[in-house]
Amino acid sequence: MRTGSRPTDLIGQTDLLRINSLSQLTGCDIFLKCEFQNPGGSIKDRAALQMVQDAVSSGALERGMTIVEGTAGNTGIGLALVAKSLGFNMLAVMPNDQAPEKERMIALHGAELRTVNPVPFRDENHFYHTARKMAEQRSDFWWANQFENTSNARAHELQTGPEIWEQTKGAIDILVSVAGTGGTIAGNSRFLKQQKSDLQVWLTDPDGSGLYSYLRNGEFVAAAGGSMTEGIGIMRLVENFKQAKVDAAVNLPDQDLLALSRYVRDRDGIVLGSSSALNVAGALCAAAQSGPGKTIVTFACDLGERSSSKLYNPEYLRNRGLSMALEPITELFARYKDAGDSIWWNG
């Protein structure tokens, strides 16, 4: 239990929760780091706070200035919360195809929100370039730049990784993570591998992302189709992801997230957001490949409620061509045991 004087005092120190159903199924201990417990409801609160603290320390960000960021939503919520808590204004630029739940939260936190059409990164109207250009126009604007600003990964190297190490008493064997900026997988893998060099780090990548292909072939080729997941998957190499120490990677389809999210909800009472469901699918795959006896940690990156209009919306799922006839978990697990060829191993 903590007592804080500002919401930022409550960022981090999240609980670790064992997923009993999947642990029993696999013979591994599968844990979720409950990042939805952060005051902004996601793991991105950590990156937001570290980026702001480091910018204040370096003198780049001064009281009364406006923080500008291009975001899929969660970083915008985290930065809005940090901004208002520490005496800054916040302007978020977001593509207009993200869950309305996140737009609402940014506005609720008193930030200014600019939405733009979703376009490829090479288009100057991409949310990333829009935020950068807005920040360049005014000396009282500061661009957080979560993709290239490695204070993002530092948050996890300094805080999240040490928390996991302490919570598992050093027993962690495998860390599984999705990646958007790569801050989470980079910071945690750097810290945890320093403690235990044979720790395995797995990346789980959604359809539409090129990270898996980059690791496998050195080229960013999008895995076929698209994904309903938000805030993850990317088609370029950014500074935060560059710092990640990854041993294995797997690309998993959205259809698997439906089966897993319902199974974990109905057996364990845990409502996963879509990127968290992908993390849990990755953890199941890692357990299938490693065999029993391992301690596996992954992240519940945000509140499951932020995926209510997509992952938990039957009409949306039908329109995406996803089937509500869910694969039984034992079949999914058996399929992951046979997935050896589709897994990329480092070296």
Ligand X SMILES: Cc1ncc(COP(=O)(O)O)c(C=O)c1O
> Using CB under 6 A, which of 92, 172, 179, 287 touches ligand X?
179
Q: Which amino acid is at 185?
A: I
Do the bridges between strand 248-252 and strand 66-70 make them parallel or antiparallel, or are there none, so unpaired? unpaired
Contact partners, residue 178, CB within 8 Å, separation at least 6? 184, 185, 203, 204, 205, 206, 229, 232, 233, 275, 278, 279, 282, 299, 301
Q: Which stretches of 136-185 are assigned E, i.e. beta strand?
A: 141-143, 174-177
Q: Which amino acid is at 160?
A: T
CB of 36 to ligand X, least distance (A): 9
Is residue 183 involved in binding ligand X (CB under 6 A)? yes
> Using CB under 6 A, which of 12, 70, 180, 233 touches ligand X?
180
Q: Are 99 and 310 in contact (CB under 8 A)?
A: yes
> Using CB under 6 A, which of 7, 70, 76, 182 touches ligand X?
182
Size of the site for ligand X (CB under 6 A): 19
If the CB atoms of residues 42 and 243 are measured against ligand X, the closer one turns out to be 42
Nearest residue to ligand X on Cβ basis: 231
Binding mask 194-233 for ligand X (x = CB under 6 A): ------------------------------------xxx-
Binding mask 33-72 for ligand X (x = CB under 6 A): ---------x-x---------------------------x
The number of helix segments (H) and strand segments (E) in the chain equals: 14, 11
Do the bridges between strand 112-116 and strand 29-34 make them parallel or antiparallel, or are there none, so unpaired? unpaired
> Using CB under 6 A, which of 38, 151, 184, 209 touches ligand X?
184
CB of 153 to ligand X, least distance (A): 8
Its sign, for the CA torsion 277, 279, 283, 289, is: positive
> Using CB under 6 A, which of 26, 74, 150, 159 touches ligand X?
74
The binding site for ligand X (CB under 6 A) comprises: 42, 44, 72, 74-75, 178-184, 230-232, 273, 275, 301-302
